[in-house]
């Protein structure tokens, strides 16, 4: 799961200070490039059919069954690249671009999401930590920056510190997301190979799709860090002028 950060991380809401241009803007541009790259890479390998005949659905089902997860249901969901595993409902949801498609891109994405289901089943520690941080991240990313900025503008250091601490919780969520996503991708590649779902050349294409997707998580973590650092520097600058 990804939390949106565009609305609260910079721009006219906070004023275009120099730290925004130095720290935040470059990471936002990187995130935009990463999003564009994952879409273009997915589109490229969506045109490459898997010789095995598997679809995203059948590949995910086989991976789940082979890992003793027959109780995990698979459902279709509208949209493109909206695939995700819902641990609360114990359901793996595959998008229209993945569910019935037999491209190596669709199979790679489906296997990645199945990897998240496996993580949940085996109690993968970083995944547990990320799950616990979800409410903290939701509050921190939506409330923290506003509190910090208002505290700076109103000259209320205590309010600023609370906002920064809340936003730091959101940053931790983005940070712990990295090993969770990387591990899900590595599990996916290993399972696709072990189950003979994709051949060696096809695996290279699927890996490119997953690597491109991984860059979006890296960019998100960098944007969160840059935004957090910006708040800290703005706070210190204001305190230094008092």
Which residue, among 228, 224, 115, 229, has the nearest Cα to 174 in the 3D structure?
224
Q: Which of 75, 96, 113, 193 is flagged as catalytic?
A: 113
Burial class from Cβ neighbours inside 10 Å (0-12, 13-18, 19+) for residue 109 reads buried
Tell me the C-alpha to C-alpha distance, in Å, between residue 51 and each of 94, 96, 104, 112, 183.
21, 21, 9, 19, 26
202 annotated active-site: no
Q: Can you spell out the DSSP letters for the chain? A: -----TTTSSSTTT---HHIIIIIHHHHHHHHHHHHHHHHHHHHHHTSB-TT---HHHHHHHHHHHTT-TT-EEEEESSSS--EEETTTTEEEEETTTTT--BHHHHHHHHHHHHHHHHHHHT-HHHHHHHHHHHHHHHHHHHHHHHHHHHHHHT-HHHHHHHHHHHHHHHHHHHHHHHHHHHHHHHHHHHHHHTTSS-HHHHHHHHHHHHHHHHHHHHHHHHHHHHHHHHHHHHHHHHHT-
Just list the catalytic residues.
113
């Amino acid at each position: 799961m990804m939390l949106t950060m565009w609305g609260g991380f910079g721009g006219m809401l906070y004023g275009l200070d120099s730290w925004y241009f130095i720290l935040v803007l470059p990471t936002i541009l990187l995130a935009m490039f990463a999003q564009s790259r994952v879409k273009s890479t997915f589109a490229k390998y969506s045109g490459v059919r898997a010789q095995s005949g598997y679809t995203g659905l059948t590949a995910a089902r086989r991976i789940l069954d082979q890992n003793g997860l027959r109780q995990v249901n698979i459902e279709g969901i509208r949209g493109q690249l909206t695939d995700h595993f819902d641990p609360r409902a114990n359901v793996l949801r595959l998008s229209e671009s993945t569910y019935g498609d037999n491209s190596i891109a669709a199979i790679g994405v489906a296997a990645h999401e199945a990897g998240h289901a496996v993580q949940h089943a085996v109690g993968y520690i970083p995944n547990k930590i990320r799950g616990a941080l979800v409410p903290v991240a939701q509050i921190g990313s939506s409330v923290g920056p506003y509190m910090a900025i208002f505290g700076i503008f109103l000259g209320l250091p205590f309010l600023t510190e609370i906002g920064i601490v809340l936003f730091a919780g959101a940053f931790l969520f983005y940070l712990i997301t990295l090993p969770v996503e990387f591990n899900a991708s590595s599990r996916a590649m290993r399972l696709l190979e072990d189950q003979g779902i994709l051949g060696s050349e096809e695996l290279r294409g699927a890996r490119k799709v997953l690597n491109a997707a991984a860059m979006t998580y890296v960019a998100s973590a960098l944007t969160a860090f840059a935004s957090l650092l910006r708040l800290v520097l703005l706070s210190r600058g204001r305190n230094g002028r008092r």
